[in-house]
Amino acid sequence: MRDRIVEYVREKIDGQFDPDRDQLIQYLDSVSLLQLLLFIEQEFHIALDMSQLNLEVFTTLNGLVEMLEAQSTAGKA
């Protein structure tokens, strides 16, 4: 999941994104954030719980992936 999101961000938002060094949030404006959310829902078949989304989730890629994995697991329970 992490690698696919990195690939998406580099292809669609900024090719210089370094997930180990950069904060994801610095690359997102309102449009790219919505596009990323749509990509995540379509790519990983996750119905995002919008009440769980806040700017802190998007600070780092790892934070986003952890939230997505938690939502994905909760959806299967």
Residue-wise pLDDT for 49-71, tens only, equals 888 788 888 899 999 999 898 88
Model pLDDT, residue 1? 94
pLDDT tens-digit series, residues 6-20: 999 999 999 999 999
Instruction: Please state, in angstroms and as integers, the Cα–Cα distance from residue 11 to each residue in 7, 54, 56, 76, following that order.
Output: 6, 24, 23, 30
Model pLDDT, residue 75? 61
In this predicted structure, the answer to whether residue 77 has a pLDDT above a threshold of 60 is no
Return the CATH architecture of domain 2-76: Orthogonal Bundle (1.10)
Position with higher pLDDT, 23 vs 48: 23
In this predicted structure, the answer to whether residue 46 has a pLDDT above a threshold of 80 is yes
Rg (CA), the chain: 12
**Polymer length in residues for the chain:** 77
**Ramachandran quadrant class, 14 (left: phi over 0; alpha: psi -120 to 50; beta: rest):** beta
Contact 5, 62 (CB under 8 A): no
